[in-house]
Amino acid sequence: MIDDSFDDQALRKLHDQGIRGVRFNMVSGNGTPQDQLEALARRVAPLGWHIQIYADGDKMLQIAGLLARLPVEVVIDHCGGVKAGLGVSHPQFQTLLRLLDSGRAWMKLCSYRASSAGAPFADVAANVQALAAAAPERCVWGTDWPHPQMNPAPEAGVLLDQLFEWVPDPVRRQNILVDNAGRLYGF
């Protein structure tokens, strides 16, 4: 998390150390200020960085047009924050699919924050399956392990097992778990 006080030399140093994106937390508000989104996107574009967005589904609906206009790729955290109980036909979820269809957005398939039912988060299956089917080449998996602000914390192994259940194709899983991350982060 950076802000506009980082000059170009500081950004280059971060790049040389392996940093590849700027995260905007639009849920709790801590981190990079949202009003710096467009300016920072323009500044990190020459480095090939992306912007990562952590927002709830309502916010994603509000900022989708802005995200589509950014000069960088956008990585959307936690299945876009769209609660599973809304269903995949809900406008919030359809907004995520349109962003993915643009070819410039990526999705982090992390189930628990999109759950309407809570643990064991099985209600998110349809969301994950639809996202993975829509853009398997631009989905990655991850969690907030060790989940410092969650009590009880989700078990990462259970979350990974769910991905294996919800995305049964081994080639697609290889992409989501390994290959896509390599392309996104440049390793």
| Helix and strand element counts for the chain (H, E) | 8, 5
Determine if the peptide bond prior to 170 is cis (ω within 30°).
no
Q: Is residue 109 part of a domain?
A: yes
pLDDT of residue 132: 97
Residue 179, in any domain of the structure = yes
Beta strands in 40-147 (DSSP E): 50-54, 73-76, 105-109, 139-141
Report yes or no on 78 lying in a domain: yes
DSSP 46: G
Whether 2 maps to a domain, the answer reads no
Residue 3 lies in a domain: no
Q: Considering the domain boundaries, does residue 113 fall inside one?
A: yes
Single pTM value for the model = 0.94
pLDDT at residue 169 in the model: 97
The answer to whether the beta carbons of residues 127 and 93 sit under 8 Å apart is: yes
Distance CA 38, CA 69 (A): 9
Q: What is the pLDDT along the chain (187 residues), one digit of tens a residue?
A: 899 999 999 999 999 999 999 999 999 878 888 999 999 999 999 999 999 999 999 999 999 999 999 999 999 999 999 999 999 999 999 999 999 999 999 999 998 999 999 999 999 999 999 999 999 999 999 888 888 888 888 899 999 999 999 999 999 999 999 999 999 998 8
Rounded (10°) CA dihedral 133, 109, 161, 179: 70
Q: Which residues are catalytic?
A: 144
- Nearest CA to 156 out of 117, 114, 120, 108 is that of 120
Q: Number of folded domains in the chain?
A: 1
The per-residue pLDDT for 12 is 97
- Give residue 16's domain range: 8-185
pLDDT at 149: 80
- CATH code of the domain covering residue 145: 3.20.20.140
In a domain, 1, yes or no: no
Dihedrals phi, psi of 166, to nearest 5 degrees: -80, -25
Give pLDDT, residue 143: 87
pLDDT at 146: 85
Q: Answer whether residue 180 is part of any domain.
A: yes
